[in-house]
Structure 1
Amino acid sequence: MKKIVILGGARDYHAMTWYRSVQKNTTNCEVIFLSDLIAGEGFSNIILPTDKIEKLFIIDKFLFRKQSKLGDIWRNIFKLLILPIQIYKLKQFNKKNPNSIFHAHPMYYMILCWLCQINFIGSPQGDEILIRPKKSILYRIFAIKALRAAQCVIVDSQNMKNEIKNLSGVDALVHQYGIDTTELQKYKNTDKKKITSIRGMLPLYRIDQIFSSREYCQINEGINFIYPYHEDNYLKNMQKCMGSKDIDHGRLNKKDMYNLLSNSFLAISIPISDSSPRSVYEAIFLGCCVAITSNLFIESLPKCMRSRIIIVDLNDKKWLQDAIQKAKKLVKNDYIPSAEAINMFDQDISIKRVIDTIYMKEI
């Protein structure tokens, strides 16, 4: 039986969700997740008994105990140092599992496949295309090599497709990675009183701008902060800005996150750059209005989803106050997803499209 191998970090929610969706929707292939990371740096182990995990050289115990900027630098250096080991491990795996379909999430694993000279499909993350190539010439060179080596590149937004074309000349395919629309629609709550920040606790996500606008407007409402990952020093600085009404939830499991968002009238997502944010779509399906800065992905959304988005200008110091006022009015109407929204964002429908149009061509 031919195998589909998802190559990535097993602590990465996005990669694991993709893997489980492929596993759920594929009947004639064995689906495996191949990883060099299980947890480490304070991340919880999210592997389930039903997951089929194969291992490269696992680096967890060589990483820092907590997430930090220094820890990020060390992790990247260490990954480079042991790259020959991972190349050897991946080549050995490929020999034992000939003709497997490899799908690498994200860029590091695409580079690993390119160096191993194995056929692969690649899915880079947003900042790996939108930000990093502009900061590092060396990274830019490796990214271009990996993108050109891929049999196919799958991304989740037109913005990413455009940037990849400009960067490497490669025509990427746009496929929404999807969300669990069936599960999300179970969390219905009309008593929405909370405000929730839904992105990472990193400078990229500009959490400091939330506090700045709140202080300027003298807003007395508390804010819930949830984040899948953080940078230790940035988190400490943001915690100093939190008031008695704020709640620092950290990383929540899906059930608790869905419960919180179903009780929220406003979610906030204002990163420096963005591709196609899964957390924003989940928040909308849970009935939130979402404050975001202008972004190309908004134009591709169905009308029912665009109606829940509040575009903010961070140069206007009152942006948070205005967003709160607008959200309180908009949220009076329940969010009812259209057939177009379901077809576009349901993860099973999305994954089936990828299986039928891309994976099956390789089998």
Structure 2
Amino acid sequence: MDVVIIGNARCFHTMDWYREVAGIIKPRKVIFLTDLIESESHEKLVKESDIIADLYNIDWLLLKNQSNFGNIWRNIIKLLIIPVQIWKVRRFQEKNPHVIFHAITIYYMFLCWLAGIKFIGTPQGSEILERPDFSKWYKYFAIKSLHAASYITVDSVSMQKKIKEISGEDAAVIQNGIDVAEITDTDSGVTVRNKIISIRGMYPLYRLEEIIKSRNNSNDKPPISFFYPYWDDVYVGYMKSIFSERDLDIGRLAKKDMYTLMKSSYLAISIPLSDSSPRSVYEAIFCGCCVAVTPNLFIDSLPDCMKSRLYIVDLQDLNWFEKAVVKAKVITSIPYIPSEEALNVFDQARSMKLVCDLYYDPQKWN
């Protein structure tokens, strides 16, 4: 049985999942069924070698750049074309009756539920940890989608617990993983780590202004390089207004360029209001950085070798940034060598092999 990934082809995580699985289950095919490929200033990730199927592409209907209004507009468009996409999913299933469907994010799980097909579901962090608390309608449809899934996978214990709490359903914790092979192959070209980086999205959720505020309270006030895969135009404008002259607004980076920057940095900062299982934090650790983070449940499940690269900050302490800088210089004086436990959990080649063994076994779907 072939596998069909239903998701957003603009998402780095989903595309990595798709390609890793495609390499593992050969000669079986992995088909990517999507409605989003290149829009809202997102980099086009789809390659000619990818097997892409159309879920009624809506790129042409979306705005040029990313913003809060753009997010609202995209959700309106998706609501309007749901009947068409339900028909598309059903037609695809009728033409390909012997496939395994895997929906990544609640929206695509919702589509599969409405289409009446069997599927594996993988929601993402805020879809479970935040949104059900702010919208009763969203919570209702999220629960329906969770109930409809034959299997549910998540990347953190916090998501697993919240799914059990709101729906009663069991979810398996399997890390999405990171590209350890490419990290290993990437040469930073430098021998001294001399940069501080912010590694999350340019949204209020990630509290980037708190980073600037504490940095400005430090003695040396070192520059910070901000790179981010997603952003809100209004928030970007606000952040630029409080940057120092030496701060760098890098924007989005290709994966290899991101790893190069991480390997030349001694401190990476990630202090969002909430978190599930932050891939960029794991990537920074494997690139040898010290990562400043706020207390979070995901930390408890990390192998010791990864915990040792973290500096837990107290945002109530006005000097947390300066203390993180001092700690990072000590931590990065020692090269990071991942343990076998860390590789088993976070190397996407190994974690996706586990997914394939557990959920893409044709015997489970006959």
TM over 0.5: yes
Aligned residues: 362
Deviation at 1:28, TM superposition (A): 4.1
**Does the 8 A contact of 1:187 with 1:286 survive in 2?**
no
Residue 29 (structure 1) aligns with: 28
The one-letter amino acid of 2:93's match is N
**Does the 8 A contact of 1:216 with 1:317 survive in 2?**
yes
**Does the 8 A contact of 2:186 with 2:256 survive in 1?**
no
Deviates more, 1:239-248 or 1:198-207: 239-248
Distance in 1 (CA, whole Å) between partners of 2:212 and 2:3 is 45
* Counterpart selection for 1:362 from 352, 360, 365: 365
Identical pairs, percent: 52
Residue 199 (structure 2) aligns with: 198
Distance in 2 (CA, whole Å) between partners of 1:27 and 1:217 is 54
Structure 1, unaligned runs of 5 or more? none
Distance in 1 (CA, whole Å) between partners of 2:202 and 2:108 is 24
Deviation at 1:123, TM superposition (A): 0.6
Distance in 2 (CA, whole Å) between partners of 1:267 and 1:317 is 18
Q: SS where residue 229 of structure 2 aligns?
A: coil
Deviation at 1:111, TM superposition (A): 0.4
Deviation at 1:99, TM superposition (A): 2.5
Deviation at 1:341, TM superposition (A): 1.0
Distance in 2 (CA, whole Å) between partners of 1:319 and 1:234 is 23
Pairing of 1:161-310 with structure 2 (within 5 A): 161-187=160-186, 190-310=191-311
Residue 14 (structure 1) aligns with: 13
Deviation at 1:219, TM superposition (A): 4.1
Q: SS where residue 48 of structure 1 aligns?
A: coil
Deviates more, 1:208-217 or 1:172-181: 208-217
Residue 90 (structure 1) aligns with: 89
Distance in 2 (CA, whole Å) between partners of 1:245 and 1:232 is 21
Residue 330 (structure 1) aligns with: 331
Structure 2, unaligned runs of 5 or more? none
> Deviations along 1:197-254, whole A, 9 cap, x unmatched?
0000001111111111112235421101110000110111001111221111100001
Distance in 2 (CA, whole Å) between partners of 1:164 and 1:47 is 31
Distance in 2 (CA, whole Å) between partners of 1:50 and 1:279 is 26
Q: SS where residue 205 of structure 2 aligns?
A: helix
- Give the alignment's TM-score, normalised by structure 1: 0.98
Residue 153 (structure 1) aligns with: 152
Deviation at 1:81, TM superposition (A): 1.0
Distance in 2 (CA, whole Å) between partners of 1:256 and 1:13 is 14
Q: SS where residue 360 of structure 2 aligns?
A: helix
Runs of 4+ deviating beyond 4 Å:
none
Distance in 2 (CA, whole Å) between partners of 1:162 and 1:219 is 42
